Structure formats: structure tokens, C-alpha cells
Amino acid sequence: MKSYLRYRMSHDLNEIAEVPILSPPFSWVPWHENWIVPLSDIMMKSFADTIDAKIFPNFITRSGCQKIITYLLERKQIIQQSTWLIFHRQEGCAFIQSVLENQTGMIQNLGVTPNFRRNGLAKAMLLRSLWVFRIMNLARAELEVSAENSAALDLYERLGFQITGTTFRTPVKDDSLLCQN
């Protein structure tokens, strides 16, 4: 079975650019557990055709995405202030989820639906999360990304993340490992 190279990346939270202002009709929507359904919809649209969906097939369906979200809510400590949805008018178009692990802010999932990419949404969400981690006095931010995901890699490197390690992932067959970290 093919395995996929993934990079672990880290940011020391020392130099963080300003968060760009989102202009209407884009708006920030803070995380609330009532948002599981809209979030699963944004997640599926953002990830369904990506390399990550080959590794974590839960990303392909709304119900699979709901399982990922529920898993995170039950097993991990969500950082509320750095978990956001972005709406364009009434349409959910982007999201970021962060969790706390050992004084580290883990960017667990980040996605923008195809029609809304290259508008600076991912950059704005990531920078906002990095500032929250710094204000919380966390030691660093970390994430994992597929080596073939050049768009995400470029984004992370431009914002100051550095590769700190590598790992190989084989596609997950069942729900035993639901999400990325």
C-alpha cells in the first residue's frame, strides 16, 4: 500500500505578521458546538479532492467530517479562540481548528473551499491563531502537512513555519485514527 510522506512543521511564535483585515462580505464566526453541521460541510468541500482525503477518507463525506469533529471535541482540548469559521455572506467558506497539547498550539485542520481560495483567508486564519498562541504564552505552534500539498507548504513556509521532522502515513482504513495529529 502506498504511504505518504508528511512533514511536521513548527513555528516559534517570535515573529508573526499582522492579521490582514477581512473585508465584507467575509466575516469571522467564532467556534461553537452548534456549528458541527456547517463545519462538516466546509471541511468536506475543502478536503474532498485533496491528498489528505486519500490518507484520511473521513474527509470525503459529511458524516466522516462530523466524526472527525466529534472525535476532536471528545478527546482533545480545543482552543476556542483559535478555532474559527469564515462565512461569505451566508455561505461557510473556510475554517481552522486548533487544539492544545503540552503547551503547544496544534493547528489540527485548516481548509478553504475551492471557490474561495487565493483570497488570503488561510493566511488570515493562521496568523490569527499564531497571535492567540503567543498571547496564551504557548511554547510554539505545530502542524503536519503532506509533502505533496505544495499550496499548504508554501503557505506555512511563508508565514514562518519550519520543517522539523518527517513521517510516513498509510491510508487509514477505519475510524481508529480519525484526524491528522
Q: Does the footprint of ligand COA cover residue 43 (CB under 6 A)? A: no
For CA atoms 39, 72, 166, 57, give the dihedral sign: negative
In the beta sheet, which residues pair with residue 77?
Answer: 100
HEC string of 5-16 equals EEEEEEECCCCC
Q: Which CB atom, from 17 or from 37, has the smaller least distance to ligand COA?
A: 17
Among 46, 58, 97, 108, binds ligand COA (CB under 6 A): 46
* Contact status: 62 vs ligand COA (CB under 6 A): no
Q: What's the CA gap between 34 and 2, in Å, rounded?
A: 37
47 binds ligand COA (CB under 6 A): yes
CA 35 remoteness from chain centre: 16
Print the binding letters for residues 21-40 with ligand COA: x by CB under 6 A, - otherwise. Answer: --------------------
Q: Are 142 and 107 in contact (CB under 8 A)?
A: yes
Question: How many residues bind ligand COA, per CB under 6 A?
Answer: 22
Taking CB under 6 A as the binding criterion, the range among 98-106, 134-142, 143-151, 171-179 that sits at the site for ligand COA is 143-151
Q: Is 122 in the site for ligand COA (CB under 6 A)?
A: yes
Residue 24, Ramachandran bin (φ over 0: left; ψ between -120 and 50: alpha; else beta): beta
Q: Where along the sequence are the contacts to ligand COA (CB under 6 A)? A: 46-47, 50, 52, 110-112, 117-123, 145, 149-152, 154-155, 158
